[in-house]
Amino acid sequence: MLNTIKQVFHSPKFVVGFAIFVAILLTMIIYPLFCPGNPLEQIGVGTFAAPGTYVSLYDATKSPTETLRLPDAADNRIEASLSKEDRVEMVEWFGAMGISVEGLDIEDTDAMVDLWNANYDPSVRPAGMTSAKINYYKRLDNSIKELNASDTVIIADYDEEGNLVTTKTIADTDYVNTKEIANVKTLPLGTDNFGRDVLKELVSATGTSIKIGLIAGIVATVIGLTLGLLAGYLGGITDDIIMFVTNIFTVIPSFVLLILITYSLGQEQRGAAVVAIVIGFTSWTWTARSVRSQVISLRNRDHVNLSKLSGHSLVRIVLLDILPYIASYVVMAFILQVSSGILAEAQLSLLGLGPKTTQVPTLGLMMNWAMLYSAHTNGSWWAYFPVILVITLISFSLNLMNTGLDQVFNPTLRD
């Protein structure tokens, strides 16, 4: 046994797969310790806040300031507010004015702004330009001038008589230490459509999905193993009946069956565990068939005959004389079942037939939400791409482990 395990860990494929899987599991366990809280808490009101560090503006204005004179502060400001579209439009204006833009880098904000200030003339109306476009250029010019002007921002409040009174002025050289600001929130993967922290949700969802995969895998393996052992070892009429049932389950595509069962259960009945069991219940056929064929070839081995002659009971023969021979195979099948269980849950949830949406997030549900709120069309990649990545990684690591085991246990693949 120990030898087998040693051998398994000599397979590089298995080790890589195992390492990835363990890393995922560890993240799943450790992350909530540092960032506790309900993963489904709606912290944002809007949808799809981009990844980044969020600083409370309210707290920032109240915090003590330091004056820093940074030489490139104005440039940075312009650079941050001048979007790529604006830059392209600026180049278009230069073109309309007949100015050569040879060698001009639109990322070089200094050069762009200098050229703009030198050449923009609001009174000029280039031929064929719509007035909307001309107004856009006027606005653009204004904002560039404003950013250059380094005006102060005035914070005013109503006094007792209802007049606005300046309470604070903020100069462009005022800085606040982020440590002084009471509320800073880092959202490494932004928020989703309901304003929930995607990372926290993702970690929680990964855990749930792996649990679903494990339950589905255990259910499928237990059913498949039991039926396969019985059919293979007993043979005769038992075999015929079991194989008849198995064939029925095989010919109906299991996914269709899955959809029908989950749909008929209804939204309210579908907890994560129920979905997992249903997935397991529809995917045992493959295990049953292969276990059966292996048992049939083992059944006629002489050591089984000798065990019978020694008067051992059926249970003992099956457990001690047959099961150890197919154990490695069953473990491999189990790993594949876990992987396919996770994928099946994702597929189901994507169709909106996954677990109830109010209790726990799953990887499939996260995909479903992202899809429903068009994250893929409005560029909110953080709402679905990490989910895809995690599903891929889990599936990849499990399959890699399976291939590694196959290399160790399958004599035909040994070199």
Residues within the interface to another protein (CB under 8 A): 301-303, 305-311, 313, 320-321, 324-325, 414-415
Minimum distance from residue 273 beta carbon to another protein (Å): 35
Residue 261 or residue 323: which is nearer to another protein going by CB?
A: 323
Residues with Cβ within 8 Å of 290's Cβ and at least 6 positions away in sequence, in order, are: 228, 329, 333
Q: Which is nearer to another protein, 145 or 303 (CB)?
A: 303
Q: Which residue has the tokens 């189990």?
A: 334
DSSP character at residue 50: P
Locate all alpha helices (DSSP H) within 164-271, ordered by sequence. 198-234, 236-251, 254-265
Q: From the CB of 316, what's the least distance to another protein, in Å?
A: 10
Q: How far is the CB of 275 from another protein (least distance, A)?
A: 37
* One-letter identity of residue 274: V
| Closest approach of another protein to the CB of residue 332, in Å | 18
For helices 198-234 and 236-251, angle between their N-to-C axes, nearest 10 degrees: 150
Across 18-152, where does the E strand assignment appear?
A: 52-55, 66-67
Q: How far is the CB of 50 from another protein (least distance, A)?
A: 54
Minimum gap (Å) between residue 229 Cβ and another protein:
16
Which is nearer to another protein, 99 or 323 (by Cβ)?
Answer: 323
- Cα four-point dihedral sign 45, 51, 52, 53: positive
Residue 119 or residue 328: which is nearer to another protein going by CB? 328
Distance CA 195, CA 59 (A): 21
Q: Compute the least distance from the CB of residue 6 to another protein, in Å.
A: 14
> Structure tokens of 296?
């049939």
171: left (phi over 0), alpha (psi -120 to 50) or beta: beta
Q: By C-beta, is 125 or 301 nearer to another protein?
A: 301
- The residue (of 180 and 240) whose beta carbon lies closer to another protein is 240
Cα 204 from Cα 386, distance rounded (Å):
13
Contact 220, 246 (CB under 8 A): no
Asked if 219 and 282 touch (Cβ cutoff 8 Å), the reply is no
Of 241 and 320, which has the nearer Cβ to another protein? 320
